[in-house]
């Protein structure tokens, strides 16, 4: 059970990262669950930082 939860949160982080790289707004977060939403936003923030550092265009 723990592995399944971790996989969902990893997927939420990855989806947030992809959203940030593509320039989508954080308001587009599709998750309602607090943990998943937190992971998605963490991925989104990391992607925004990477874009500002010039890693992606």
Question: How does DSSP assign 1-57, residue by residue?
Answer: -HHHHHHHHHHHHHHHHHHHHTT--GGG----SHHHHHHHHHHHHHHHHHHHTTS--
How would residue 54 be classed by pLDDT, with cut points 50, 70 and 90?
confident
CATH number for the domain spanning 44: value is: 1.10.10.620
Instruction: Look at the chain and report how many structural domains it folds into.
Output: 1
The reply to whether 3 falls in a domain is yes
2-50: per-residue pLDDT in tens? Answer: 666 679 999 999 999 999 999 999 999 999 999 999 999 999 999 999 9
The reply to whether 9 falls in a domain is yes
The reply to whether 26 falls in a domain is no
Domain that holds residue 38: 1-19+34-57
The reply to whether 44 falls in a domain is yes
The reply to whether 28 falls in a domain is no
The reply to whether 6 falls in a domain is yes
pTM for the full model? Answer: 0.84
């Amino acid at each position: 059970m723990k592995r399944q939860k971790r996989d969902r949160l990893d997927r939420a982080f990855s989806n947030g990262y992809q959203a940030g790289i593509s320039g989508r707004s954080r308001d587009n977060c599709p998750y309602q669950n607090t943990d998943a939403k937190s992971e998605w936003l963490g991925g989104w923030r990391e992607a925004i930082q990477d874009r500002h550092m010039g890693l992606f265009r």
